[in-house]
Structure 1
Amino acid sequence: MLKVIFLAAFAVGTVLADGELIILNNPGSVHFEGSQATNQSFLKEVFTVVLGYTPKLTQPWDGVEIRDPFLLPEALVSIVIEGVESVKSPRGKHFPLNVDEVEEVTWQAVSRRLEERDTNNTLVRIRVGDGLDALGQSALGELKPNSVDPASLKHLSLNNEEDQKFIEELQLLRAIAQKIPSTVTANSKPDVYWFVVSGLRPVMDLHGKDSEATKEALKLLNDAVNDLSNAFTDIYNGQVVVALFTNDANKLRNTRSVESPRVRREEKAGELPITLRLSKRYSANYPVIFNIFLWFGIVFFFSLLAICIAIAGMDPGRDSIIYRMTSNRMKKDN
């Protein structure tokens, strides 16, 4: 009976999921499995875990497993596709995603947690929709996207502003992929690269979700994302987690606008806010000090135990120091 209830709850959660999480690459030390849905607000915990840091929530999602804590990924690459529910990628491991916060909130949480532990991490966030003029000299160096041959497009047209803007985003992604080998260097510090693509939704609104133009746009997007994923995978020798997730902020804003009047009514009614039972904050040196005391105590205990056993088993013969110090008649050398 419990199994039936669990399966029914899982099916409902999957149906209500309005986003998608795709793991395009992961090293052998990090394993993703199953098809359990997760909330986007939990992604910060998942990304924290795969980079080797302790999450603030215990076991937020059962879809990830750390198999080798001594060989963790050296980087996290996150690609966010705004305004859509799915990109229909043929690659990677797919998981339903419940969108409950905007992507910038997720990025700020991940970057803040890394900065709290180490200030030497590489943290890069690029909104490719801002265009080359807005990016200027980006964190990955000067970008020089190639021009697009209009004849290579079957259903999209550069004469449409929406199509042109989307194609420019894809060309920027490809330019970034080409720039990675000369600008990115793998080191022992976990790095985070965050890319946001926002031009797909206007194309879908213009041509329709099931149109041939949308299918072509999805194919071009997946090809550009694969190029970006392969570039980072080669630089880090596979020790990188490449994750793509979709985020429809419009639905999130609509949900908040529906709930906000209820919240205001509760505040006017004089209801007290919910008090969260949060754990106290610990210093970043806490685990270091804890390990020093723990292992010193263990070594000291076993050392003392060995000394006691050695003394207890010592033979108090005439030539023993114990006999000499306890005998009433001390031996004297002639």
Structure 2
Amino acid sequence: MFAKILCLTFALAAVQASGDFTVLHGPDSINFHGEEPVSQSLLKEIFTAALGYTVKLRGTWSGMSIIDPFHLPEAVVGIAVEGVNSLESPRGKRYPLNVDEGEETTWQILSGRLEKRDNMNIEVRLSLEDGVNALGHSILGELKPSAEQHSPKSLNPKNEADRKLLEEIQLLDAITKKVPSAITADDKPDVYWFVLSALGPVIDLHGADSAAAKEAYTLMNDALARLSNAFMDVYSGKVLICAFTNDGTYVRHTRDVVAENRADAENSADAVTGQSLRSTVDETTEANVNQNSTDSSDKKPRVLKSDQINISKVYDATYPVMFNIFLWFGVAFVFSLIAICITIADMDPGRDSIIYRMTSNRMKKDN
């Protein structure tokens, strides 16, 4: 009996903590505190709130507080490191991450929200797994990895896994050198998204406690530190830089089912009601993962029932205009009334004032 309980405990721990969410840098206007685990489906809400936009899913996570809403970050840099449970970063604030959706789904929903609000935002997603051939001419400009090879002590460039890791680090350094010249800070929120996938195979090949794995972690963290410093210099510190990891085996089993169901649920509800889904969509989607995985090849958009979603009230397009008119007219009217009352109360009731003329008994004698 004790063995069963112990196995169940380890299984639940593996499900609830399959990755890490590390805040490498945050501006002074945002405070990250506590150690509460966070779900990956809430990362897009965290990034949306950090940029000053209204969140859609009403999830609960008390790890972030906005201190100064008037000096929010001008950019968000997300770094997805796939295939490892933790980045073992010596810097930043770390939280356990529950990987309940794929990295690409998080990116698509986040970038879609920014496109709906303003099409002048910079939205960059680079998967370094594609290599320099695919990323040679990116939106950041032409990337030219340095000819200087890293001189690893434990990693062997002749091994394919080690070689790909060293190539990703070279690409990160090339991006770091391109950031100051290719990016100009403005008042438009920007999102930069980088996907790294070469660290996991190295850890699997050499073992988590090997000297090669420790060197791989060190090289990766040093490259991410240089990248973070480059973005901090461009945006003068007003940038949120986060890295999150996920267990590759977990993601491969759930990405196709959960991500597709989540996207179908959002798109179908938006087409019917014109509004976004709330957190209940996540619950109904995950509840139907096993049922929908059998017929995922011929999946059709699934329309949720009205009692399964929490749709907000639909307002007319002129509602913001009328709201502002009534709001500021009311504010001006109240302060004007207060000023008039104060002026009349302080008025000297002399013979030249209307108060004297309407209240004096001399007026009756003159008549």
TM-score category by the smaller chain?
A: 0.7 to 0.9
Distance 1:299 1:13 in 2: 57
Structure 1 segments unaligned to the other structure (5+ residues): 1-8, 266-271
Question: Equivalents in 2 of 1:288, 1:276: separation in Å?
Answer: 29
Structure 1 pair 27–254 and aligned structure 2 pair: CA distance change class (3 A): same
Q: 1:283 to 1:131 in 2, by over 3 A?
A: farther
Provide Cα deviations, 1:190-239, integer angstroms capped at 9, x if missing partner.
11111110111222222233322222111111111111011111111111
Partner in structure 2 of residue 28 of structure 1: 28
Partner of 2:132: 132
- Alignment-derived partner of residue 145 in structure 2: 145
Q: What SS does the corresponding residue of 1:195 show, helix, strand or coil?
A: strand
2:276 corresponds to which residue?
none
Residue 49 of structure 1 deviates from its aligned partner by 1.3
- The correspondence of residues 246-257 of structure 1 with structure 2, limited to 5 A, is 246-255=245-254
1:4 maps to what in 2?
A: none
| TM-score, normalising length: structure 2 | 0.75
Counterpart of 1:56 in structure 2 is 56
CA shift, 1:131, in A, is 0.9
Instruction: Encode CA deviations 1:291-324: one digit per residue, 9 max, x unaligned.
Output: 4432221112231344356568767876445788
Deviations 1:233-260 (A, max 9, x none): 1111111111000123531343559964
1:5 corresponds in structure 2 to: none
Separation in 1 of the partners of 2:41 and 2:317?
23
Q: Does 1:188 align with 2:187?
A: yes
Distance, in Å, in 1 between the alignment partners of 2:45 and 2:292 is: 27
1:242 match: 241
Structure 1 residue 282: Cα displacement: 5.7
Aligned-pair CA distance for 1:166: 1.6
Q: 1:216 to 1:140 in 2, by over 3 A?
A: same
Q: 1:78 to 1:253 in 2, by over 3 A?
A: same
Amino acid at match of 2:51: L
Aligned AA (2:234): I
Partner of 1:166: 165
Q: 1:281 to 1:74 in 2, by over 3 A?
A: farther
Amino acid at match of 1:244: A
Range moving further from structure 2, 281-290 or 233-242? 281-290
> 1:60-99 residue pairs with structure 2 within 5 A?
60-99=60-99
How far, CA to CA, are the matches of 1:289 and 1:140 in structure 2?
Answer: 42
**1:179 match: secondary structure:** helix
Helix, strand or coil at the partner of 2:112: helix
Higher mean alpha-carbon deviation, 194-203 vs 209-218, is at 209-218
Using the alignment, how far apart are the partners of 1:283 and 1:294 within structure 2?
17
Mapped partners of 1:264, 1:94: distance in 2:
33
Task: Give matches, 1:108-119, under 5 Å.
Answer: 108-119=108-119
How many residues end up aligned between the 2 structures? 314
Deviation at 1:168, TM superposition (A): 0.8
Change (3 A) 1:283 1:138: farther
Residue 308 of structure 2 aligns to a residue whose secondary structure is coil
Which residue of structure 2 lines up, in the alignment, with residue 295 of structure 1? Answer: 328
- Structure 2 residue matching 1:44: 3-state secondary structure: helix
Partner of 1:76: helix, strand, or coil?
strand
Q: CA deviation at 1:57?
A: 3.6
**303-312 or 182-191, which deviates more:** 303-312
State the superposition RMSD in angstroms: 3.2
Judging changes above 3 Å, is the alpha-carbon distance between structure 1 residues 120 and 281 closer, same or farther for their aligned structure 2 residues?
farther
In the TM superposition, what whole-angstrom CA distance separates every residue of 1:61-89 from its partner, at most 9, and x where no partner exists? 21111111111111111111012111111
Q: Tell me, which stretches of 5 or more residues in structure 2 are unaligned?
A: 1-8, 259-285, 295-303
Tell me the SS of whatever aligns to 2:22: strand
CA distance in 2 between counterparts of 1:115 and 1:56 reads 15
What corresponds to 1:212 in structure 2? 211
% identical aligned pairs? 56
Q: Which residue of 2 aligns with 1:199?
A: 198
Residue 307 (structure 1) aligns with: 340
Determine the C-alpha separation between the residues in 2 that align with 1:103 and 1:286. Answer: 36
Separation (CA, whole Å) in 2 of partners of 1:182 and 1:121: 18
Identify the residue that residue 310 of structure 2 maps to in structure 1: 277
Q: Would the alpha carbon gap of residues 62 and 302 (structure 1) be closer, same or farther in structure 2, given more than 3 Å must change? A: same
1:268 matched to which residue of 2?
A: none
- Tell me, in whole angstroms, the C-alpha distance in 2 between the residues paired with 1:91 and 1:288: 46
Q: Structure 1 pair 261/69, CA: closer, same or farther in 2 (3 Å)? A: closer
Structure showing greater relative contact order (alpha-carbon pairs closer than 8 Å, 6 or more residues apart): 1
Offset, 1:15: 7.7
Give 1:281 shift: 5.4
For 1:286 and 1:103, locate their aligned partners in 2 and report how far apart those are by CA, in whole Å. Answer: 36
The 3 A distance-change label for structure 1 pair 282 and 23 is farther
Q: Is the 8 A contact 1:78 1:242 kept in 2?
A: yes
